[in-house]
Structure 1
Amino acid sequence: MLLEEPYGEFGFFNPTGHAAIYLSDVCAETPTRLRRCQPGETGVVLSRYHAVGGYDWLAVPLIPYLYAVDDPEQIPESADQKMVLRLRDRYRRHHLADIVPDDPKHEIPKGDWTQLVGESYDRRMYGFAVKTTEEQDGALIAEFNDRDNTSHFNLFFRNCANFSEGVINFYYPHAIHRNFIADAGLMTPKQAARSLNSYAKKHPEMDLRTFVIPQVPGSIRRSTPVDGVVESLVKSKKYVLPLAFLHPVVTGTLVAVYWGDGRFHPDPKSAVFEPTRDETPVSASTQTASSQPVNITATVVPVSTTSGEATIVRTTYQTGGQN
């Protein structure tokens, strides 16, 4: 599961972030149909989106989902908004044109489709990995390929966290549940992660591992920490100060709820995913730190787009000292 930090104007008013499911052994035949991965493939990210092609869920391969490129060596060392927009539109034209067609009124279509690709340019993500079996993966593929995929998105009751809850509970029934105190009964991304973390501690056979996918450096504004419902009220001056003035007893109760049942923070010692070094985020979470020095080679590579040229920096990692 991916717990993704909020960003932008929407993230300012709704700091609950985003939740998605990463499956390392399931891949996308199309954005709406799943299959088993072939050797060398790195899996797929599934999530529920609002108003993207009318679908309930969409599947995007891992590297494009994170960086809007097909090859890890094409990931830019740093990025700005113009570069990211060009990379996203280039990927859209090649792989998502049936779902996000050209817009005659705009060179690049507007809408939430941009959340499908290049998410690591906008936000940092925390990963929570658990074991699955081939039988479980096969059952999930069959379930998703057979069921209706029509959007009925609802911010409160059919959101991205509800989707992640359903997938995790498909593998491990009752692993994720709502918190009626800290989140007023709503399912939030942070509650999904908190539930999974708590359940895994009681079931060591799940082999819970954690990792971090950093936000790509650059001029794009940094994402902010993920909050739950009560947590966002307690930690935000724009909400808690007026509430404390008007309803001090209610405010005190909310603070008590937060300190008693609303706190959860991802492991700060989680492994950091490096796409040019690690095959998958899961492999990053299991490997031990190398005692050998790492040599880094950067090469400037021009990429043609419909809007001109986008220059990226290809970064290569080698261990073992000097060449």
Structure 2
Amino acid sequence: MLKKMALLVLVIGWFSGRAYADVSLLLHEAIGGSGEFTAGGHSAIYFSNICLEGPTELRMCRPGEQGIVMAAYPGFGADKPYEWLAIPWFPYLYGVAQTGEVPLYVNGEIRTLLRSNGRRQYFNDIVPADPNGALPIGRWQEMIGTLLNRDVYVFTLKTDWKEDAALVEEYNSRANKRPFNVLYHNCADFVREVLNAYFPQATHRDVLNDFTITTPKALAHSLTHYATKRPERLFYITKYSQYPGPIRRSLDNRNFSEKALTSKKYLVPQIVFKPILIPIFATAYFATGHFNPQRAYERYASLTIAQLELEAIQLRQQSVASQPYSNSLAPYGTDSRAARLMEIEREKAAERLRLFGTKPDWAHYKTAFEPLLRQAIAQGYFVDEREVQTFFKDLELQSEPFLDENGLLMLRVRDYGVARRLGLTRANILSPDSDPQLAYKLMLVRVRNELYGATKNRETFEAFEADWKLMQELATRCAALPAPNTTRTSAQARFLEHPEKFTFKQKMKKWLVRITH
């Protein structure tokens, strides 16, 4: 029976029409209280050629399907003893089904709405609706729209359908009930076992820096080391940035020794009580634990670069083979191979320019943006710079999300006593139902945060230029309308009607997090 099942899986894989596919390690940045104290983050795994019959049953993908993400969490919900769940790639990342539905801004209420819709679509049989209408508890929520909470680095290698088919057979034939254990079988252990089934000994714990616990960053470090020695696997890294909005940004992944050296909550007690620990942690970290996912991403930034690197290696090998005894200072000759190698370097530079831009490029946009923002404040779009800085949070407090007739996100906004609507996707922000002045404010703040925020939090330069173009189009539309400060009838000075109030305890908590981070 098992042999017949295996044969069936292989046949289905053959008919999928893919000679090869991808498998990817997803490194999620840290969030929440546990992230503040451990900075471990989360890991999951993506298969471009494996799809779902149900949340816990796998099959090979059919043409046009997008693959799935599998992840292990400690408790997907009440009475849900699953080791892992899976969901299609796009809703796992974005919380929506397709590109046109991706919001330009999210907040806590939008996150709840997207996850509620996602539960009904993907996990309704596993996580039933709460009778009180609340979002059911459980870590299933983390499987829908992970970019709502954090940045994700995706480390990708090429596989083939035979390797994928073997994994499908294995996971469909074994019980999906292995208990989660932080020390011995956590999310990173789950991913490590899967990756090592594809690439034996490719990933491992960092015993010295993580005190024998498997961490997501250790997997990313060891997989990068493995893959960069095997260019035929076409290794590359993609970065997906957290949605813009008032939700707190995620934290860099750090191993335990790095956290002990960089976090004041751990470093200060060491200085006071056990200073001998500092050189021990420093030696361990700089000897074997130093790895920066952002730097790795900038180096191995796309499949195009990986393909060009492989071509360059093959050309060099051909040149050496054709001139085994040459002592020339130009070992690649003066033939077409040498010309192609130079062309490859230019193509790699162009690809990095598309992804990252240059410092002069970003400086040019900053210079062009500053008068636009000053003009917007002068015209009454914002009261002052402070209102620009708080606009994303103010917008959350002044609005409620809903889906329009096409299923796209919009906000109902209380704008100085007037009820307005604001489209939140590229497909409806320019629609007649979306207020152009609110849309312009949204894009001004989005562009500002990209220009003046941390470099690592930026999207690609290409994506930023698309934002800039949309902002300019909205500016052109608003130029034909009366300026906000000439039409406002409300005596309210600021966009936010009722400023958020914090208790003393909440203020102390924020203060402690800020000074001990």
TM-score where L is the length of structure 1: 0.85
Deviation of 1:268 (Å): 4.2
| Match of residue 62 from structure 2 | 38
Distance 2:130 2:298 in 1: 44
Distance 1:285 1:123 in 2: 26
Alignment partner of 1:205 is 2:232: yes
201, 224, 240: which one pairs with 2:267?
240
| Match of residue 189 from structure 1 | 216
Distance 2:288 2:48 in 1: 32
Equivalences, count: 300
Distance 2:202 2:154 in 1: 16
Which one has a larger percent helix, Structure 1 or Structure 2? 2
| Match of residue 269 from structure 1 | 298
Over 3 Å off, 4+ runs: 281-291, 309-312, 316-319
Deviation of 1:283 (Å): 8.2
Please, what is the CA RMSD of the aligned residues?
2.7
Alignment partner of 1:303 is 2:330: no
In structure 1, the residue corresponding to 2:119 is in which secondary structure?
helix
> Superposition pairs for residues 6-45 of structure 1, below 5 Å?
6-45=30-69
Deviation of 1:44 (Å): 0.5
- Structure number with greater CO (CA < 8 Å, separation at least 6) is 1
Instruction: Decide whether aligned partners of structure 1 residues 140 and 283 sit closer, same or farther in structure 2, where only a CA change above 3 A counts.
Output: farther
| Match of residue 165 from structure 2 | 138
Q: Do the aligned partners of 1:161 and 1:188 also contact (CA within 8 Å) in 2?
A: yes
Partner AA of 1:41 in structure 2: E
User: Unaligned stretches of 5+ in structure 2?
Assistant: 1-24, 308-347, 355-400, 412-422, 428-462, 470-517
Deviation of 1:111 (Å): 2.4
Alignment partner of 1:314 is 2:338: no
Distance 1:282 1:84 in 2: 31
| Match of residue 220 from structure 1 | 247
Deviates more, 1:22-31 or 1:132-141: 22-31
| Match of residue 387 from structure 2 | none
Instruction: Decide whether aligned partners of structure 1 residues 143 and 10 sit closer, same or farther in structure 2, where only a CA change above 3 A counts.
Output: same
200, 210, 215: which one pairs with 1:173?
200
Distance 1:123 1:285 in 2: 26
Distance 1:285 1:61 in 2: 25
Deviation of 1:204 (Å): 2.4
In structure 2, the residue corresponding to 1:215 is in which secondary structure?
coil
Q: Do the aligned partners of 2:115 and 2:144 also contact (CA within 8 Å) in 1?
A: yes
Deviation of 1:46 (Å): 0.7
| Match of residue 298 from structure 1 | none
Q: Do the aligned partners of 1:83 and 1:310 also contact (CA within 8 Å) in 2?
A: no
In structure 2, the residue corresponding to 1:130 is in which secondary structure?
strand
Q: Do the aligned partners of 2:235 and 2:300 also contact (CA within 8 Å) in 1?
A: no
Q: Do the aligned partners of 1:44 and 1:62 also contact (CA within 8 Å) in 2?
A: yes
Q: Do the aligned partners of 1:210 and 1:285 also contact (CA within 8 Å) in 2?
A: no
Distance 2:138 2:175 in 1: 23
Deviates more, 1:98-107 or 1:112-121: 98-107
Map Cα deviations across residues 88-113 of structure 1 (whole Å, 9 max, x no partner): 10110222112211223452212222
In structure 2, the residue corresponding to 1:100 is in which secondary structure?
coil
Partner AA of 2:181 in structure 1: N
Distance 2:239 2:143 in 1: 19
Distance 1:124 1:42 in 2: 21
Larger Rg: 2
Distance 2:48 2:172 in 1: 18
Deviation of 1:314 (Å): 2.9
133, 146, 167: which one pairs with 1:119?
146
Instruction: Decide whether aligned partners of structure 1 residues 282 and 315 sit closer, same or farther in structure 2, where only a CA change above 3 A counts.
Output: farther
Distance 2:278 2:96 in 1: 46
TM-score where L is the length of structure 2: 0.54
User: Unaligned stretches of 5+ in structure 1?
Assistant: 273-280, 292-300
In structure 2, the residue corresponding to 1:104 is in which secondary structure?
coil
Instruction: Decide whether aligned partners of structure 1 residues 100 and 169 sit closer, same or farther in structure 2, where only a CA change above 3 A counts.
Output: same
